[in-house]
Amino acid sequence: MKDQNAKDVLSGRARDPALNGKDPRVFVIGEQPLVAETRPDALDDDTTPTDKFFIRNNGKIAPPTEDPERWTLSIDGEVNNALALTLGEIRQKFAHVTQRMMLECGGNGRAYFSPETEGVQWHHGGAGCAEWTGVRLRDVLLAAGLKETARYTGHFGSDPALDAQHPSPPISRGIPIAKAMDENTLLVFAMNGKDLLPVHGLPLRLVVPGWTGSVSHKWLTRILIRKDRHDGTLMDPWHYRVPVRVMSYGDKFDPTKFVDLESMPVRSIITSPADGARVGANFTLRGAAWAGDRSVRQVEISTDKGANWRKAALSAPKNRYDWTRFTAQVTLRPGMHELWSRATDSENNAQPEEALGWNPQGYCANPVHKIKVTVS
């Protein structure tokens, strides 16, 4: 991690203006396109401040818009009244909702797979929990009048491809209509009480909580309602799909044995103390846990590399898709120690000690979080 930061300071941070104002613990793991994750000790706030929120772009950041209120979102396809709504109209016509909800990249945890897989090497910090303000996508879709044939959404935004060397069209993913109609799926114009930052989708984005972050489209301009699964960029058989059965490195890739990655798996992180910290003999350990569409049933802590576990105290989430904060009182002898956290979800899935479920694109690695501390 230290090396990561050094590299970050020398390269990405110096160059990419999107990192201006971000906490130094948001470190670059991909430069073209810009991808940056948050060190777990920077996720110690109940609500993740915007300056500590991870960044995942697939192309360039969309060019700034002159007049955000006149930004237009179109809804077309399998609807009775195709709509073209300005942001001003969206604000005016639909009820505003504010909820604290998780956003997490589908590749979060990828660095823990062995053998290493393709893709950006996220540790545990491709996730954050912000207060999102917007309107329910459901309300807008009801205004457009879904036809009986409506099955799936397709999302389009205004971010351009990276450059001539990377001419692939911008990401365009989608979700089944049931998730689009879920009351927690929001069309968002504010993050933590302020307009979205350009890098987080100014002026309008989707937040589809609990699911792979790739469906939470930024710089959103159009939602196409479809009769069948969307076929946009990164809806191919490789991306954001996970094997139905356990597979191993070297197994033949058979696309018929894969399903769309939707809900993210259970995960916990220790947010205090920081990895590598010096601590007193008695301290309060703090952390956060989340589980995609499911809830967190319990979090356990081990101070002896998994030989013994004991329960952490959980605080109640504010609303659905909020993370669960936890604390534990820890007493340790002088010396070096490891602190581990393990969460279990409402369907009794627990984090494994090492990343299981290897898959070629490296989705959903959720091993227990392990940090080292020194008691002096």
Ligand X SMILES: Nc1nc2c(c(=O)[nH]1)N[C@H]1C(S)=C(S)[C@@H](COP(=O)(O)O)O[C@H]1N2
Pattern of binders to ligand X over 312-351, x per CB under 6 A? Answer: ----------------------------------------
- Enter the tokens of residue 147: 């036809």
Locus of tokens 């989708």: 201
Q: Under the criterion CB under 6 A, does residue 75 sit at the interface with ligand X? A: no
Minimum CB separation from Mo ion for residue 31, in Å? Answer: 16
Q: Under the criterion CB under 5 A, does residue 298 sit at the interface with Mo ion? A: no
Q: Which does 57 bind (CB under 5 to 8 A by kind): ligand X, Mo ion, none?
A: ligand X
Q: Which does 218 bind (CB under 5 to 8 A by kind): ligand X, Mo ion, none?
A: ligand X
- Enter the tokens of residue 96: 């505003």
Minimum CB separation from ligand X for residue 276, in Å? Answer: 25
Instruction: Considering only the stretches 68-76, 178-186, 214-222, 265-273, report the one whose residues sit in contact with ligand X under the rule CB under 6 A.
Output: 214-222
- Enter the tokens of residue 322: 């909020």
- Identify any residues that bridge with 344 across adjacent strands, giving them in sequence order: 298, 350
The residue among 55 and 364 lying less far from ligand X, judged by its C-beta, is: 55
Binds ligand X (CB under 6 A): choice among 117, 184, 214, 298: 214
Count of CB atoms situated within 10 Å of the CB of 376: 8
Minimum CB separation from Mo ion for residue 324, in Å? Answer: 22
Spell out the residues 6+ positions from residue 352 whose beta carbon is closer than 8 angstroms to its own: 366, 367, 368
Instruction: Considering only the stretches 43-51, 94-102, 212-220, 344-352, report the one whose residues sit in contact with ligand X under the rule CB under 6 A.
Output: 212-220
Q: Which does 135 bind (CB under 5 to 8 A by kind): ligand X, Mo ion, none?
A: none
Instruction: Considering only the stretches 57-65, 116-124, 267-275, 323-331, report the one whose residues sit in contact with ligand X under the rule CB under 6 A.
Output: 57-65
Minimum CB separation from ligand X for residue 189, in Å? Answer: 13
| Identity of the residue numbered 312 | A
Question: In angstroms, rounded to a whole number, what is the distance separating the alpha carbons of residues 201 and 223?
Answer: 15
Q: Choose among 359, 357, 361: nearest CA to 121.
A: 361
- Residue 144: enclosing H or E segment and its boundaries? helix 137-144
Omega within 30 of 0 (cis) for the link into 203: yes
Q: Under the criterion CB under 6 A, does residue 138 sit at the interface with ligand X? A: no
Question: In angstroms, rounded to a whole number, what is the distance separating the alpha carbons of residues 55 and 120?
Answer: 12
| Identity of the residue numbered 363 | Y
Q: 3-state SS of the chain: helix, strand, coil percent to 5?
A: 15, 35, 50
Q: Which does 299 bind (CB under 5 to 8 A by kind): ligand X, Mo ion, none?
A: none
Phi, then psi, of 177 in degrees rounded to 5: -55, -35
For the chain, report the end-to-end CA distance as a whole number of angstroms.
Answer: 22
Q: Which does 55 bind (CB under 5 to 8 A by kind): Mo ion, ligand X, none?
A: ligand X
CA dist 28 → 113, 149, 346 (Å): 19, 43, 33
Q: Which does 157 bind (CB under 5 to 8 A by kind): ligand X, Mo ion, none?
A: ligand X
Q: Under the criterion CB under 6 A, does residue 213 sit at the interface with ligand X? A: yes
Binds ligand X (CB under 6 A): choice among 27, 39, 54, 202: 54
Phi, then psi, of 333 in degrees rounded to 5: -75, 160
CA dist 108 → 4, 220, 294, 323, 346 (Å): 16, 23, 17, 16, 21
Q: Under the criterion CB under 6 A, does residue 55 sit at the interface with ligand X? A: yes
Binds Mo ion (CB under 5 A): choice among 55, 85, 101, 105: 105
CB-nearest residue to ligand X: 213
The residue among 182 and 300 lying less far from ligand X, judged by its C-beta, is: 182
Q: How many residues bind Mo ion (CB under 5 A)?
A: 4
Q: Under the criterion CB under 5 A, does residue 214 sit at the interface with Mo ion? A: yes
Minimum CB separation from ligand X for residue 179, in Å? Answer: 15
Q: Under the criterion CB under 6 A, does residue 56 sit at the interface with ligand X? A: yes
Q: Under the criterion CB under 6 A, does residue 100 sit at the interface with ligand X? A: no
The residue among 56 and 205 lying less far from Mo ion, judged by its C-beta, is: 56
Binds ligand X (CB under 6 A): choice among 151, 218, 286, 369: 218
Count of CB atoms situated within 10 Å of the CB of 45: 13
Spell out the residues 6+ positions from residue 254 whose beta carbon is closer than 8 angstroms to its own: none
Question: In angstroms, rounded to a whole number, what is the distance separating the alpha carbons of residues 111 and 117?
Answer: 8
Residues that bind ligand X (CB under 6 A): 53-59, 103, 105, 157, 159, 171, 200, 213-214, 216-219
